[in-house]
């Protein structure tokens, strides 16, 4: 039976510099290599089916990727998912930004079909190797690390029923960019690429926002008139500054309540801000991505240890695409605006149908998992209701197991956390 369905597409960044390091292992143990896929980092898979990628979609992809400049990634370390060994790109942020940008535009195509809670950028080395082969592969890879590669384009690849084939190339900061001088100080394309990256970062951090406008009214009209008069005085005196210009445009926007006119004013605000940023670039100002390293952002998940008579409740995962067939605690990602305790209470209710009073939860452990996960573990010995499998589509068994004798096939990191808790360690690292 074919591993892939004809007509599938993916967006990838090929990494030819990786081939001397990973090539022989991928040939043996990476299932995608059998179908003609070279060493790569996935931007988004699966993307739209091939018959949906028409001239309009191609044009949109070209404009979208043109807003991002080329960048370097360095591969220093290996990492593991269940059953998968990979190389970790650094920094991962630009690759995440590409994924987020495509996903925002085509929300019907979530990364990996929505099977995983987070799409971690990675270069797969082995996904079909026996677990006892991983140490040998990692030792061999270490001799070729680190190496650096240039990400200059995104490829659209499609599966034709026999192999994956490269069909379209989308330069980063390339064809379709806003001007022809990307990379020069003060370039419009460079500034727009920075704006696009910042927009993606804001969406990732704050989610999609749509609060009220809060504009219009006589007091804001008066403020706009005052700013306009100040701009005119500065112009007459030959003392006009970018501050004068942008201040006047912003207050003009604040004075508008009609949506169409407000939008037009905001476009003017954005245009002035971009032109000011271009002017600063032309004077040698440092681009945002060069000013400082991006602040680390962790993905937080919560785990609940339900303990009764010295035994721990575990569920066996099924049909999720992650760690299926392995035992895990009731757990999940912390949702926006939710406290860790609220998240633990919610996960216990959703997965095993019990109600826990927050006062009956005791924080017992924190685990930092490479590269960007923080797990918070809570213990409860009292709850309302008898636990049952409340998510049969994701779990095929619930069992109680002795705290000091976890079953074979327990997911690795919660198993390590449970052992650390038993040894009295409040904190552990995993995967570094």
Task: Please report the DSSP string for 58-122 in residue order.
Answer: HHHHHHHHHTS--EEEEEEEEEEETTEEEEEEES-HHHHHHHHHHHHH-TTS-GGGG-SS-----
Q: How far is CA 220 from CA 3, 153, 215, 253, 310, in A?
A: 62, 46, 8, 9, 66
Residues 6+ apart with CB under 8 A from 314: 327, 328, 329, 398, 399, 400, 401, 406, 407, 410
Q: What is the mean pLDDT of residues 27-42?
A: 92
Work out the end-to-end distance of the chain between its first and last CA atoms, rounded to an integer number of angstroms: 37
Structure tokens at 277: 């940023």
Q: The whole model's pTM is what? A: 0.46
pLDDT on residue 1: 33
Sequence-distant (≥ 6) Cβ neighbours of residue 343 within 8 angstroms: 302, 332, 333, 334, 335
Best CA proximity match to 148, nearest among 123, 166, 127, 171: 123
Residues facing residue 299 across a β-bridge: 373
Instruction: Give pLDDT, residue 410.
Output: 94
For 2, counting Cβ atoms within 10 Å of its Cβ (0-12 exposed, 13-18 middle, 19+ buried), the class is exposed
Query: Residue 3: left (phi > 0), alpha (psi -120 to 50), or beta?
Result: alpha
Task: Quote the percentage of the chain above a pLDDT of 70.
Answer: 90
pLDDT (0 to 100) of residue 27: 93
Token couple for 111: 């990364």
pLDDT > 80? residue 181? no
Q: Are 286 and 252 in contact (CB under 8 A)?
A: no
Does residue 175 carry a pLDDT above 60?
no
Average pLDDT for 3-22: 92
Q: Is the pLDDT of residue 212 over 70?
A: yes
Select the more confidently predicted residue: 313 or 63. 313
CA angle 21, 26, 148 (to 5 degrees): 30
CA atoms of 97 and 120, how far apart (whole Å): 11
Token reading at 337? 């605006």
Task: Tell me if residue 191 falls in helix, strand or coil.
Answer: helix
> In terms of pLDDT, which residue wins out, 258 or 278?
258
* Residues written for the chain: 432
Instruction: Give every CB contact of residue 269 below 8 A, 6+ residues apart in sequence.
Output: 246, 249, 250, 253
Torsion of CA 197, 200, 206, 208, to 10 degrees: 140
Cis? peptide before 46, omega within 30° of 0: yes
Q: Which long-range contacts (CB under 8 A, 24 or more apart) does 226-235 make?
A: 226/251, 227/251, 227/252, 228/252
Residue 10 has pLDDT above 70, yes or no: yes
Give the pLDDT band of residue 180 (cuts 50, 70, 90). very low
Reduced to 3 states (helix: H, G, I; strand: E, B; else coil), residue 150 is: strand
Place of tokens 């926006």: 336
User: pLDDT for 260-303, tens place per residue?
Assistant: 889 988 988 888 888 888 888 777 665 554 444 555 678 899 99
Task: Give the C-alpha separation, 143 to 154, whole Å.
Answer: 28
Cα Rg, the chain, nearest whole Å: 26
Tokens 């000091």 belong to: 404
Tell whether the model's pLDDT for residue 213 goes beyond 80. Answer: yes
């Amino acid at each position: 039976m074919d591993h892939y369905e004809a007509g599938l597409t993916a967006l990838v960044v090929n990494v030819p510099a990786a081939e001397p390091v990973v090539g022989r292992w991928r040939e043996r143990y990476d299932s995608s290599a059998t179908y003609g896929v070279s060493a790569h980092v996935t931007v988004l898979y699966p993307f739209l089916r091939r018959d949906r990628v028409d001239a309009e979609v191609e044009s949109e992809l070209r404009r979208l990727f043109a807003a991002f400049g080329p960048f370097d990634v360095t591969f220093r370390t290996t990492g593991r998912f269940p059953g998968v060994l990979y190389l970790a790109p650094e920094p991962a942020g630009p690759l995440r930004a590409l994924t987020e940008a495509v996903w925002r535009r085509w929300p019907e195509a979530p990364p990996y079909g929505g099977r995983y809670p987070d799409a971690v950028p990675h270069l797969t080395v082995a996904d079909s190797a026996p677990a006892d082969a991983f140490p040998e592969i990692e030792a061999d890879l270490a001799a070729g690390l680190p190496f650096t590669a240039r990400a200059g384009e995104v490829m659209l690849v499609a599966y034709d029923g026999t192999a994956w084939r490269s069909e379209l190339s989308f330069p980063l900061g390339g064809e379709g960019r806003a001007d022809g001088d990307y990379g020069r100080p003060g370039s419009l394309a460079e500034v727009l690429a920075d704006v696009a990256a910042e927009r993606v970062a804001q969406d990732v951090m704050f989610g999609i926002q749509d609060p009220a406008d809060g504009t219009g009214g006589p007091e804001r009209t008066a403020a706009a008139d005052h700013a306009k008069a100040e701009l005119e005085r500065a112009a007459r005196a030959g003392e006009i500054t970018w501050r004068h210009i942008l201040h006047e445009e912003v207050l003009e926007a604040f004075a508008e309540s009609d949506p169409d006119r407000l939008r037009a004013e905001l476009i003017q605000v954005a245009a002035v801000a971009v032109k000011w940023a271009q002017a600063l670039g032309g004077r040698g100002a440092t681009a945002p991505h060069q000013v400082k390293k991006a602040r680390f952002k962790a993905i937080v998940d919560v785990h609940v240890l339900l303990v009764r008579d010295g035994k721990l409740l575990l569920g066996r995962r099924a049909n999720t695409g992650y760690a299926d067939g392995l035992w895990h605690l009731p757990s999940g990602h912390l949702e926006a605006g939710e406290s860790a305790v609220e998240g633990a209470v919610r996960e216990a209710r959703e997965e095993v149908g019990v109600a826990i009073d927050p006062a009956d939860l005791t924080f017992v452990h924190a685990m930092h998992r490479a590269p960007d996960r923080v797990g918070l573990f809570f213990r409860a010995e009292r709850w309302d209701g008898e636990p049952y499998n409340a998510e049969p589509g994701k779990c095929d068994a619930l069992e109680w197991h002795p705290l000091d004798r976890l079953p074979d096939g327990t997911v690795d990191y919660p198993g390590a956390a449970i052992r650390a808790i038993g040894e009295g360690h409040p904190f552990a690292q995993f995967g570094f």
